[in-house]
Structures are given as structure tokens and as C-alpha cells.
Structure 1
């Protein structure tokens, strides 16, 4: 079992490949519950009027979960059982939904235009599946403006009004995201809704330094963040998602050991299961990556014990 908080972005979780996934859905549940502590359902897209889609599949409309009746439209009807099993079967403690992705800023403008309906639909995910938070994967392709910041802050406040927490998933624009933190804190009676920053350290964020981001948060006044280093959760891609194997991940986190980073995330489940399906026994599982993060972050403790 992992000694640190470890999240994974569940790429089309329990939906990709429906009804014939590369790895059986019940096996996916078992594998996640052997070390992963937080599952982030990726990606929720918001259409005009506030409907929620899980990738390209209609998920929630007018306050109702849309289940497939013909094997084509709507989500896997076994979703409730699988989520219940996921949340009661082992290491997984939190379930988030992530809104957005690269090239989908329209999700957020659609959200802003239908805030009441989106709140209703998010509330349905909360009451039906026990969703505890919303992840903001806002990736602008034409800069980050003050209007963008006002939008993100308003939507974060909506999430907080439901009793949910938020996480931000940036890969660039440090000042923009720390500004969002300050504005949320000020407008929410000095209560911070954002629990963590899931920092992308892959693809466009491959050059990111978790230390630099932690210092940026630490040096920004009035964010309501007590521990800036624990607030930054660096994430890295896995094999099958243009990333590395558990050994390379362990080495990366060993380089972060002792500075105050307390967890990490994996990008993404789809890569792991595609690799497992193609390579078979011996391919790395979520638990292998989770253990690699634990081993890496524990490196400083092991070194101290030997001294």
C-alpha cells in the first residue's frame, strides 16, 4: 500500500472500450485499489446548456445520469456498481471529476453560460457517485487573461458552494493560477476552496519544476495555503501515454524527496491498461507506479535512517 497520496487521471474510466474494454472493468477496480488514493475521472466536457459528457459520451443531462440502453449512447449502465466497488474496495478514498483538456476551453465558457444547470448536474454526480471534488484542467491556447481568471474564480466558487473542493491542473502561467488562488480566498471569506495544484510535468509542462511552483505559491500573499510544498502535486506520464516506466518515476520522485512534496499523480490510466493489454503479464500496473512514487519520496527518510 502506498504511503503517500497518489492520484491517477482515469481516462474514460469504466467507459473507454464499452462494452469490451482492453482490461475488464472489475480488474481495473482491483488494480486501482492496490495503491491509488485518488481517482480523477477525465475528462468531463460541458456542452451548451450545461450537459456533461464523459469524453464524447453524454453523461448527465437535466439532472439525470444518462445510461446506455443500446450499447452506444449514454454511459456504461454498470457505472454505479463499479464506482461503489472502487470507493469501498481498498486504497481509493477520493473521486474527482476533471473538466477540460488541451483545446477545450469551450467547456469553461459553456459552464459559465449555464452555471445553475452545471451546478445541478455536478450535484447529481456528487449524490450518485460520491464525487468529492472538481479538477480544473483549463489550458488556454491564446494566453491567460483577466477575464479568464474571473471566470475560473467564479466557477471555483460554484464548486465550493456545493460542498466540493477544487484542484487546479496547470502546466504554465504561474501568476495566473496563483492569482486565482488569491481571488478565491478573498471572495470566499478567507476560506480556500482549492485543495491542491496537480502540476503537469509532462508534455507541455515537461520543463516544470515543482519547487519553482511551490515557491510561487509561498511568495503570493493571501492564498490561504498553509504548506505550499505539500500543495503542489507533480504528475508524470506513464508508459502508453508517452511517459516512462516505474523505475524512471521512482528516480524522479527521489529527486524531490525531502523538499516537502508529499504526493504525486499519474497520467493516465488508459496508457497503463493499453500497455497491459498489449504486453500481458509483466507490464506495469497502477500499483507499480504508486509504489515507485512511495519509494522515491521515501528516499530521504531511508537515507536518514542509514546515517
Structure 2
């Protein structure tokens, strides 16, 4: 059995390097389907007024996907076909969009200021590409007002019938507080399906089991299995991280802990090193499986 989820942050996926990426986009889709279960499209930035950008490229505006017509503005016009290939017949089960990144708290304040338009634009991604969730990559100032903002936006995601994931690297009490507030304000139903815990860069010292204990010790979150709820992630070659043997070593330390999934940071690192003989997404997926002993656990259901 395979661990679940085996997620990857798709850094500018199907757009990075447009129109001549280091690995052809169709090959990227094929390779991701050889072991990856969850693709997290990173990063969606939200501008004032609610427009969605894929990194620096306008993606969705006023309920319309913006495709490139002159080779420089808008996203790859082959995006629908590539996503269809990604979601058809392989290992990939879920496509999530991730909002934010280090130093981009303005994505969330812009979202808060244009909630209705952002909901419209997310609904277009849902209907066009079949996204199943929204990842919150908030990395900024933590406090009561920020917690209220994250909870409000999580509830907006749930109102669309989507689930949320959180991508923390610090401040476990802040994030568990968000979980408890979402649960309380959503009629005792949790919208957040799991936490993608950063265990690289600023989160390199994180112990996933300690985060699981923090969730476990927080009352009224609606999280039935705190250990499966924590999905730790590590960086790959090309993204200031390690090769599959390193990834396997990291996850082997968690075998038997109750943690059943993991994520990779990030796709562009893999695709940048692959042309010179570097490993493929399948190699990294196999490393997570091997490290965890291929333990499998269904994600708990969420009911927005």
C-alpha cells in the first residue's frame, strides 16, 4: 500500500519555463502520475480586487481564466488539456491551489478585502480544472486578528464545497487555534483536511510528532487522527534539499509514529535537475513510501 497523501508543491506547474520548460509539460503530467497523489499548485497570489495570479502571471480575473495570446501575458493556453491529463488515469487524486508564500501576507489581506470576487474566481478554478481544496501558506505576523482572518477565509473555502489544508512552519498554537475556531463556527464540522508541515528552511527543526501532539491536546478541533493529520514535507534536489535517499531517511524516522503521508518541496527543483540525470517525481514518491513503510491511512472526511 502507498502512503497517503504523497503531495508535491507544483511550483508554477505547467507555466514555469513557458513555453520551453526543462521537461516537457506533457512529460511532467505523466511523471507526476507515477506515485504522486496530490498536486498543490503553488503559488496563487491574490491582488487587490481579487484577481488571482500564478506566481507573476495573471491567471483568473473577474471569473475568467486568462490564457496567453501573445506569449507573454496570461497562462499557458494548453493548461486545460494538461490538467485533464494530470487528473486522468494515474496516481494523482487531488489538485489543490496554494495561496501565499514567504513575504506575501498581502495575498491574504487582499483576499479578505475582496472575498466575493475571490470566491467567484476560485469557483472558476473548481469548475474548469476540478480543484478540490485550497492550501493556506500564510507566513507572517501571528495574532488574534490574523487568526480571525484565516478562519474567515477558511470558512469561505468551505462554502464552495472545497476543503482546506494549512501549511505552517511555526506557531503551532496559532494554527491549532484556527482549527478549533473553524470547527466551532462551522457547526462542529472541520473544513481543514490536513496540515502540510514545513520541515525545511525556516521549519527545518520541526518535529512532526510534536505538532501532532499539539493538535491532539487542543480540544474541539474535530480532528479524529492527529498523527495522520500532520503531513510533513522536505525539500528536494534543485530546491536546496536532498535526493531520494535523503527523503527516505527523513521519513524512516517517522515510521510507526502514526504519520502516514508526506510532501515534496518542490516540482521545479525536480524538473530542473532531471535533464542532467536527476531523479524523477516517482523516485521521490517511492522514497516516502519506503521511509514510512508504505503505511496507508484514508484522509478523514471533511464536510464543509
Please list the CA deviations of residues 33-79 of structure 1 after superposition, one character each: whole Å capped at 9, or x if unmatched.
Answer: 00000000000000000000000000000000000001100000000
Aligned 1:224-235 pairs, distance under 5 A: 224-235=222-233
Distance 2:187 2:207 in 1: 31
SS at match of 2:233: strand
Distance 1:159 1:215 in 2: 26
Change (3 A) 1:18 1:299: closer
- 2:61 counterpart residue number: 61
- Structure 1: gaps (5+ residues): 302-307
- 1:93 counterpart residue number: 93
**How far 1:4 sits from its partner (Å)?**
3.4
The two structures have a TM-score, normalised by structure 1, of 0.95
- Aligned to 2:238, which of 237, 240, 243? 240
- 1:304 counterpart residue number: none
- Structure 2: gaps (5+ residues): 297-304
SS at match of 2:101: strand
- 2:52 counterpart residue number: 52
Please list the CA deviations of residues 212-256 of structure 1 after superposition, one character each: whole Å capped at 9, or x if unmatched.
Answer: 000000000000000000000000000000001101111111110
Task: Check if 1:297 corresponds to 2:295.
Answer: no
Deviating runs (4+, > 4 A) in structure 1? none
Distance 2:253 2:76 in 1: 41
Distance 1:200 1:31 in 2: 24
Q: Which has the higher contact order (CA 8 A, sep 6+)?
A: 2
SS at match of 2:68: coil
Distance 2:273 2:130 in 1: 30
Distance 1:295 1:17 in 2: 32
**How far 1:299 sits from its partner (Å)?**
7.6
CA contact (8 A) 1:2 1:290 kept: no
Distance 2:295 2:196 in 1: 22
Task: Check if 1:20 corresponds to 2:20.
Answer: yes
SS at match of 2:53: strand
Give the paired residue count. 296
The two structures have a TM-score, normalised by structure 2, of 0.96
Change (3 A) 1:287 1:300: closer
Task: Check if 1:109 corresponds to 2:109.
Answer: yes
Task: Check if 1:258 corresponds to 2:256.
Answer: yes
CA contact (8 A) 1:2 1:36 kept: no
- 2:302 counterpart residue number: none
- 1:173 counterpart residue number: 171
Aligned 1:248-287 pairs, distance under 5 A: 248-277=246-275, 279-280=276-277, 283-287=278-282
- 1:197 counterpart residue number: 195
**How far 1:89 sits from its partner (Å)?**
3.2
